[in-house]
Amino acid sequence: MIDKVKIVDTQILSDNWYLLRKITYEYVKKDGTKQIQSREAYDRGNGATILLYNEQQKTVILTRQFRLPTYVNGNSSGMLIETCAGLLDQDNPEDCIRRETEEETGYQIKDVRKVFEAYMSPGSVTEILYFFIAAYDKDMKVTDGGGLEQEEENIEVLEYPIEDAMNMITNGEIKDGKTIMLLQYIKLQGIL
Residues 91 and 177 in one domain: yes
Residues 16 and 50 in one domain: no
Contact 9, 24 (CB under 8 A): yes
Q: Is residue 73 part of a domain?
A: yes
What's the mean pLDDT when you consider all of the chain? 94
Q: Is residue 102 part of a domain?
A: yes
Determine if residue 103 is labeled as part of a ligand binding site: no
Neighbours of 187 (CB within 10 A): 14
Determine if residue 159 is labeled as part of a ligand binding site: no
Residue 105 clears pLDDT 70, i.e. is over it:
yes
Determine if residue 156 is labeled as part of a ligand binding site: no
Nearest one of 68, 3, 63, 70 to 32, comparing CA atoms: 3
Q: Is residue 192 part of a domain?
A: no
41-79 per-position pLDDT tens digit: 999 999 999 999 999 999 999 999 999 999 999 999 999
Alpha helices, H only, 64-176: 68-71, 93-105, 162-170
Determine if residue 102 is labeled as part of a ligand binding site: no
Q: What is the pLDDT of residue 152?
A: 65
Q: What is the pLDDT of residue 88?
A: 94
Q: Is residue 14 part of a domain?
A: yes
Q: Please tell me the total count of domains within the chain.
A: 2
Neighbours of 157 (CB within 10 A): 19
Report strand pairing: 2-14 vs 59-66: unpaired
122-149 per-position pLDDT tens digit: 999 999 999 999 999 999 999 988 777 7
Q: Is residue 114 part of a domain?
A: yes
Q: Is the pTM of this model over 0.75?
A: yes
Strands of the sheet containing 2-14, edge to edge, are 2-14, 19-29, 34-43
Domain with 10, as residue range(s), is: 1-41
